[in-house]
Amino acid sequence: MSRLVHDGVLVVGAGLAGLSAALAAAPRRVLVLTDAPLSEGCSSAWAQGGMAAALSDGDSAGRHADDTVAAGAGLVDAAMARLLTEEGPAAVRALAALGAPFDRTADGGFAQGLEAAHSRPRVARVKGDQAGGAIMAAVIAAIRAAPHIEVREGSRLRGLLQDAEGRVRGVIAEAAGELVEITAAATILATGGVGGLYAVTTTPAELKGEGLGLAALAGALIADPEFVQFHPTAINIGRDPAPLATEALRGEGAVLANADGERFMAGYHPQAELAPRDVVARAIHAERAAGRGAFLDAGAAVGERFPEEFPAVFAACMSAGLDPRIQPIPVAPACHYHMGGIATDADGRTSLAGLYAAGECASTGVHGANRLASNSLLEAAVFGARAGRAAAREAEPAPARLVRLLTPALPDASVQVLRQAMSRDAGVIRSADGLLRLLETIEGLEARHGRTAALAAARLIAAGALARTESRGGHYRADATRTDAEPHRTFVRWAELLPAAHSWKYAAE
C-alpha cells in the first residue's frame, strides 16, 4: 500500500458541504477526494427546493430559527439553529456572487417560495426545482479555478488512519483498484447521507453512510442516528433512486388525494398539505397501506407552467408517460435525509482530534427529530465553510506510527438484502419486533462479510430506533405512539453500542 503525504486539509466528499469547506480553507492547501466525478453522486446536485434563509424585509433570523426549532420536535439545539439562520443570508448571497442563478423579483431581490412548516415564504429557488444543480455548477466552477484546491475523482473512502492517541491522521482511499494511505493535518468527512441503505430513496444509491460508519468504528461520538427523514412525495414510477416531486409544488397549491380524487391531508393535520414532512409521510404511507393510493395533483395549481417552473419534475413524469399538467402524480414516501450523524461542534470538530465532519454525515443539532424543509443546503454551505476555516488552522502533527482502520466492502447482492430490510423495519413505521429482526439481519451479513462501514451505519440507525421507545418527528414507533414529556437526544459511541444492542435483544425475548 502506497502513502501520500498531504500537508494541508483533506476533504472526503464533493457535495456542497465538502466543496464549501474546500473553498473556505484558503489559502491552506486542500485535497478533495470524490468517488464520482464532480456534480455526480452527491445529494446536493439533486436538491430541488432551494435554500431557506431570511432574505426579505418581513422576515428575520429569529423567525427562521423558531420555525427550525418547532419542526425539530423538541430536539433542535437552539443555539446552533440561531447560528445557522443568522449566517444563512450571507451564505445565500455568497453563492449568488459565485454565479448561482437564484430566481429574482422585479426589483432584484430573491424570489422566495413557501414550503412546509415555514411561517412565511423564505426558500430561495432556481427555476422552481433546479436549485441544487445550479448551485453546484457555480461552486464547481469556483473549485476548478481555485489554486489551493486539488480534486482527485475516482477515489473511494475505504478506511481511516489514526495514531496511538486516536487522532485521525488521514484516510485510506481506493483508486483504480489500488489502496493508498493519504495523511493530512486535518480530515473533513463530507460523505453524505444514508439513502443507499434503503430500498426506496431520493438520493444517489451510492450514499450508504460509510463516512458515518467509519467514524463510529474509529470511536467518534454519534448523535441521533435513529432520525431518518422520509420525503412524502417521491414519484412512484418504479425508479431507483426515485425521482422527487419537490415540496415547493405543495407550496404552490398542489394537493394530495387518493385514487378516488378525495383530498385526505386535512384529516391528519390542520396544516393539511403543508404539515411537517413526517406527518405527511405517515399520512401517505397510511393511505397506501389502506389500498386507497396517494397522488399529488398539481393540475390546477401549476398546470401549463410545469415545463418552465418545475422542469425536473416535469421531465421525470413525462419519461414515465405521465403528464403532470393534466394527470395526478403517484407518490410514496422515500428515504430522503439523515438528521443524525457524526456529532460536531459549531466548527465541524468531532470528538476525535484531527477529524471534522460537515453536511449530511454530520450532526450539528440544527435538524432535531425532523429537518425543516430546505435547511439542508443551507446547513451544508454554512457549516461546511465553518469546518473548512477551522480545519485550515490545524497544525501539522508530529510524525507517528499509524494504525489502519480498513473495512471490507459489502457485495452488491447483500446490499440489496440490507436495503429491503431497512425499508421494511426501519422505515416510516417502526416497531421493536421489526427492529430486532433488522439487527439479526445485520448480524448475519456481518458474519458473512465482516463489519463493513455500511453495516455499521445501518446498525447505528436500527439500535438507536430500538432504544428510543417513543414516537418523535421522523421516528415513529407503532408500538410506542406517545411522545415522551422530556425530550432527549441520543449520543452513542460504538464501544457502547454492541453490548446495549444485545441486552435489548435478550430483554425483548
- Active-site annotation, residues: 277
Block residue for cell numbers 461546511: 384
How many other C-beta atoms are found inside a 10 Å radius of the C-beta of residue 282? 21
Q: How buried is residue 153: exposed, middle or buried, by Cβ count under 10 Å (0-12/13-18/19+)?
A: middle
Q: CA 192 from chain center: how many Å?
A: 6
The CA distance from 273 to 247, in Å, is 9
Contact assessment for residue 212 and residue 484, using Cβ atoms and an 8 Å cutoff: no
Block residue for cell numbers 482502520: 405
User: C-alpha dihedral over 197, 203, 207, 209, to 10 degrees?
Assistant: -60
Strands (E), 203-352: 222-223, 228-235, 255-257, 295-297, 329-338, 341-343
- Radius of gyration, alpha carbons of the chain: 22
Contact assessment for residue 155 and residue 33, using Cβ atoms and an 8 Å cutoff: yes
Strands (E), 154-227: 155-162, 168-175, 178-183, 186-189, 222-223
